[in-house]
Amino acid sequence: MIFRVINFVVIGALVLAAAYVYRIKFDSTVQAEHLAKLRGEVRRERDRIAALRAEWGELDNPARIEILAKRFLQLKPIAPTQFDSLDRLPERPPDDARAANDDPIGGMIGNLDPPETGTIPAAQAAPAAPAAAPPEAPSGAPNPPSGAPNPPSGAPNLPSGAPNQ
Amino acid sequence: MSATAETLPIAPAEPWRRRLLRSLLYGRNSNRAAKARARIGLAIIAFAVVYGIIAVRLVMFAAVSDGRIAHRVVSGDAIATARPDILDRNGEVLATDVRVPSLYAEPRRLIDVDEAVELLTADLPDLDATELRERLSSRRGFVWLKRDITSEQQREIYHQGLPGIGFLNENKRDYPNGAEVSHLLGRVDIDNQGTAGVEKWLDNQGLAALHLAGLATDRLQTPVQLAVDLRVQHALRDELVKARDKFHAIAAAGLVLNVRTGEIVAMVSEPDYDPNIPHNPRDPGLINRLTTGVYEMGSTFKAFTVAMALDSGKVTLKSSFDAHNPLHYGKFDIHDFEPMQRSLTVPEIFTYSSNIGAARIAMAMGVDAHKAFLKKMGQLDRLRTELPESAEPIVPKRWGELNTITIAFGHGLSVAPLQAVMGVGALMNGGILIPPTFLKRSEAEAQALGHRVIKPETSAMMRYLMRLNVEKGTASKADVAGYYIGGKTGTADKVVFGRYSKTRVLTDFMAVLPADQPRYVLLIMLDEPKALPETHGFTTSGWNAVPTGGAVVARIAPLLGIEPRLDLPPADQQILASLKESR
């Protein structure tokens, strides 16, 4: 009796094991085919990448770029004089000049030295144009403000020259 | 036999007739029960073995079949051999594999040859009909009909549905830059085997063995990176083509060598070819003049003569040599191109390019010392690089004093130009002779490979002389502001029918940039440049190779990352002053 029960259990286990093995085998076949398909795709993809790289190499060829650049661009080869080193860059503008967003250069001019520009009209006390000022100074009496004619000629240079350097 | 004792009680139960039969069949004393048990055991073992074999085979099939599925897909194409990609030093593609369909036929499976010929020639008009018929009529199993067809042609032929006609995808080598890097890369034949240049070198590196074994079918993953810079190569080639057209030269060649690493950053030999288009590889006009040709380099060799004298310590920059009169030796007279008719100092000999002076320096050093020095500089032995093409220098068999005199100014010894560039690189870079390479190499690797040939002070003096020659010598037309170029010109009379020609010359220009901190050596070489109105009838190097060199430097220096420095003092302050400080 006991032997018969064991027999049935073993037969059942055998069937289950066979079914399980079949499923694993079937899955693995599906996976293997999937893998082969993916490998093929990867290879095709790589071939396509190679073809595109070859085409890019052809399009990116310096000889071709040079012809196109000469025809369509205004650019010219760089001359040695057009290089400069970083340590020759001018100082960074002060913060308050950069803060004036609407007119940064105007802000810098405004920040330069207000008392100096303010004193000249007061010392000269004349509405003369700057160009007319130097000839007037020698003809005028050599009094203490004789130093004053120099600042007007120098002063217009300062704001325009400073941002350029 | 104990079994007989056990069977005794059973024996009397048997009828006599059966006992008789049994004794007749099996013998008188046999025991059937024991035999039956033994036979069952034997059967069990036999079945166990059979089932065991079946089980093992099942496991084997299950394990192997996965691989076979994957293999089936691959074997559909890819019969030609794969090659690794070749990149320039910045990773730009110089050569790559592209898959192209090729047309083949299996004549045995073909039904109607005439129909096949008709339909195929309609789609592929460049196919020869008689040859095609011949091939299809053969009884062979497989014939190629046309390699490398377009995908439209493939579609058309596919839709004709001819039996026995098929396609295979093959690897085809593609060179996106065409002729730009031709001599350096070489080329491959129709079966993707390298036949010249770096391609052939790749085959010699073990790729050919892979191909033979049929292993190199899939795309190879690791690309080969060369030292060449495509942008520099293009700029050099562009200027050389212009110069060749302008001076109506037979050929023009140029080379840029990194003196610190020995890397060849650009190499052009005009005329060149498009490696994508198959053509006759034996065309003598298309040789790589820098490695395969040997030339008398002319006055550039005076750099070696002067360096030898300065390095020996017997001659200083202040020494002077007599150049009053042409030098008589036997029946030969050595003249100067522009006779000075006085004594010349060493810098004057170098900058005026005085043949007499160079000859006298070499004579003062002696024949043996001269020969030993050139040997040390690698000028007398065949130079081998990665490229399979190389040439043996033509060295005089019996080297007498006359040979030393002529070789002192660059005649009578023919070397490959690449060899001369290697030597000049050693004169410039502080005195280390580094074998040149086409592959990427770091400075540390180069230092390990190189060996010292001259003293660093001699190298500095040579750089001074090179710079001086540009400031006020024969190479003044190469002075591009900001790059501090130094250089030496050379004009060699070509040997025509065994005699030196007066009209056919080979001009070259060897430049170092920058002269105070050397990084690159540039060679420009023109074969038989013609005189032009703007060269005032001259064909010497200073009028053709030197301006070309200047134009090349102006274009390549920014690409090589050389920072222009304007307002540098003249050579005697910039180079010689630092030399005196270091002493």
CA–CA separation, B156 and B177 (whole Å): 31
Terminal-residue alpha carbon distance, chain B:
113
Q: Nearest chain B residue to A55 by CA: give it.
A: B176
Out of A91-100, B54-63, B90-99, which region has the weakest mean confidence (pLDDT)?
Answer: A91-100
Q: Given this model, what pLDDT does residue B189 score?
A: 83
- Give whole-number Cα distances, A54 to A59, A71, B99, B168, in Å: 9, 24, 11, 21
Q: Dump strand ranges (E) for B194-247.
A: 194-196, 224-225
User: How much is the pLDDT for B218?
Assistant: 59
Answer yes or no: do B219 and A54 touch at CB < 8 A: no
User: Whole-angstrom Cα distance, residue A100 to residue A95?
Assistant: 9
A54 closest CB neighbour out of B70, B93, B482: B93
Q: pLDDT of A127-149, one tens digit each?
A: 444 444 444 444 444 444 444 44
Whether residue B207 is predicted with pLDDT greater than 80 in this model: the reply is: no
Chain B environment of A45 (Cβ under 8 Å): none
Instruction: List chain A residues with CB under 8 Å of B72.
Output: 36
Question: Has residue B232 got a pLDDT over 90?
Answer: yes
Q: Say if the Cβ atoms of B96 and A55 lie within 8 Å.
A: no
Q: Which two three-digit tokens encode residue A39? A: 């490998």
Each residue's pLDDT tens digit, B309-342: 999 989 888 888 988 888 888 778 888 887 877 8
Residue B172 in this model has a pLDDT that exceeds 70: yes
Q: Residue B22 pLDDT > 60, yes or no? A: yes
DSSP per-residue codes, B329-364: ETTEEE--SS---SEEEHHHHHHHT-HHHHHHHHHH
ipTM for the complex shown: 0.70
Whether residue B135 contacts residue B161, with contact meaning beta carbons closer than 8 Å, is answered with no
Beta-carbon count within 10 A of B55 CB? 10
Q: Which fold has domain B232-582?
A: Beta-lactamase (3.40.710)
Summarize pLDDT for B350-379 with one digit per residue, the tens.
998 899 999 999 999 999 999 999 999 999
- The amino acid present at B286, given as its one-letter code, is L
pLDDT of residue A111: 65
pTM, two decimal places: 0.74
Where is pLDDT greater, at B12 or B82? B82
The pLDDT value recorded for residue B474 is 86
User: A42: distance to nearest CA of chain B, Å?
Assistant: 11
Chain A residue numbers touching B230 (CB-CB < 8 A): 62
Per the model's pLDDT, the better-predicted residue between B65 and B240 turns out to be: B240
The per-residue pLDDT for B221 is 62
Instruction: Work out the minimum CA distance from B345 to partner chain A, whole angstroms.
Output: 34
Q: What is the average pLDDT score of chain B?
A: 85
Ordered by start, the domain boundaries in chain B are: 17-61, 86-225, 232-582
pLDDT of residue B16: 82
What pLDDT, on the 0 to 100 scale, is given for residue B63? 72
Q: Tell me the mean pLDDT in the region A65-73.
A: 91
Q: Which CATH number fits domain B86-225: 3.90.1310.10, 3.30.1280.10, 3.40.605.10, 3.40.50.300?
A: 3.90.1310.10
What is the separation, in whole angstroms, between the first and last Cα of chain A? 111
Amino acid B213: pLDDT = 65
Confidence band, pLDDT 50/70/90 cuts, at residue B249: very high
- The CA distance from B29 to B323, in Å, is 131
Instruction: Give domain limits for chain A.
Output: 2-60
- Position B113 pLDDT exceeds 80: yes
pLDDT at B486 over 90: yes
Tell me whether residues B176 and A25 touch, CB distance under 8 A. no
